[in-house]
Amino acid sequence: MKIYKTAYLFLLTLLLAAFCGGCAPSAEESTSAEEMNSADDNTIQLYYLNADGDGFYTVDYTLENTEDVLLASYEVMSRLSDTENSRTDSYKPAIPTGVTVNSITLDGVEETVDMGIGYRQLDDSDEILLRAAVVKTLVQIKGVDSVRLTINGDSLLGSDDNPIGAMTKDTFILEEDAEALYNDEEMVTLYYADMDGDSLVEYKTRLETYDNMPMETRVLLELMDVPDKLDVQSPLPSDLIINQTQIHNSVCYVDLSKEIENVLPGVEEKVMVYAMVNTITALGNATSVQFTVDGEKMESLRDFDSFHLMMTNDYSLVDSAIKGSENLEK
């Protein structure tokens, strides 16, 4: 209802101005302008999930609790988890049914949000989306610079089983940064499989991203498109879908479709995995890669039994005698 109040005050100001003509501003006009500025200062963006649940949809919202940081935070979390009123054809709640907020505490400018045990039931990709939505929304409240999440009082752990610390507005790369970060062209290093399928071939080329696609997704798609002038083969199944790539704390989380389990004749599983890992880490945005398959960790990929672990690059598989050249054209 605050939005309607602001619009009403704005119209009232215009009417008073028309009535007074060239006279000096009245007390009523000054008050209206001040209230309008105050409303603007207290307007934030709520981060909901988009209709497909794989990205974000922001909605302008004017806070009702403007004097108390904790009350404002509870207000925001209530909005993000309102499954009845926060759902349209364009977006849906960021916090799903079954995930509760136990408490919110403030220590200086760092806020701790304690979530209920239902949080642990989220798959990896949904957990990252929820966490990003909560953090990106809460840090817009004056007096909140960072957010730490806990589950029933226990520290939230990352894929490496280490506690995830306080997160800020810069922790996550989201849609509002896409134009600057994703629509770009750069020199990349791709790692294809050699014709024997037991080594990697390094190939440098220039790639351009499009449609707000992260470069991490772009290079994986490119691995399925073999350069004509190179005697190599794709290390990935041709029907593989890259569901999502997202970077957090120097880790690239990659969610693949179940087609990654399809047998690729002539290519060893280790070569398949490190073609992706080496290609992604070579971009310089992440130092390690964590894979999931349709949102779930998979213990092994046939003969490769470490597929569930966080992996860093392995250049021992690269056959330096047949490295590609950045001068080669596709």
Residues 64-93 have pLDDT tens digits of: 998 999 999 999 999 999 888 888 888 999
What's 227's DSSP letter? -
**End-to-end alpha carbon distance in the chain:** 58
Output the pLDDT for position 319: 82
Identify the DSSP state of 120.
Answer: G
Residue 188's alpha-carbon distances to 90, 285, 317, in angstroms, are: 35, 12, 18
Helix (H, G, I), strand (E, B) or coil at 30: helix
SS3 180: helix
Mean pLDDT for the stretch of residues 108-126: 91
> Which range, of 22-26, 194-198, 264-268, 292-296, averages the lowest pLDDT?
22-26
pLDDT score at 299: 87
Length of the chain: 330
Q: Summarize pLDDT for 88-108 with one digit per residue, the tens.
A: 888 999 999 899 999 999 999
Alpha-carbon distances, residue 122 vs 231, 244, 326 (angstroms): 43, 16, 42
Q: What percent of the chain has pLDDT over 90?
A: 52
User: What fold is seen in the domain 67-169?
Assistant: Alpha-Beta Plaits (3.30.70)
Per-residue confidence (pLDDT) for residue 54, from 0 to 100: 84
How many whole angstroms separate alpha carbon 115 and alpha carbon 102? 5
Q: What is the per-residue DSSP string for 245-309?
A: EEEETTEEEEEE-GGGGS--TT--HHHHHHHHHHHHHTTSS-SEEEEEETTB--S-BTTBTTTTS
Residues 218 and 294: their CA atoms lie apart, in Å, by: 19
Q: Is the whole-model pTM more than 0.95?
A: no
Measured CA to CA, the distance from residue 91 to residue 150 in angstroms comes to 26
Q: What value does the mean pLDDT of the chain take?
A: 81
Residues 7-28 have pLDDT tens digits of 333 333 333 333 333 433 443 4
Q: Give the residue with greater pLDDT, 60 vs 168.
A: 60
- List C-alpha distances in Å: 164 to 158, 159, 290: 6, 10, 15
Distance CA 111, CA 145 (A): 8
Residue 211 has pLDDT above 70, yes or no: no
Residue type, 181: L
pLDDT tier for residue 184 given thresholds of 50, 70 and 90: low
Domain with CATH 3.30.70 in the chain: 67-169
**Does the structure show a pLDDT above 50 at 308?**
yes
**Residue 40: band (very low, low, confident or very high) from pLDDT cuts 50, 70, 90:** low
Give which of 155, 181, 175 is closest to 167, Cα–Cα.
155
- 180/158 Cα distance (integer angstroms): 27
Contacts with 158 (C-beta within 8 Å, 6 or more apart), sequence order: 164, 249, 251
Q: Pairing relation of β-strands 288-293 and 251-256?
A: parallel
* Pairwise CA distance, residues 125 & 85, whole Å: 24
For a pLDDT cut of 70, what percent of the chain falls above it?
Answer: 80
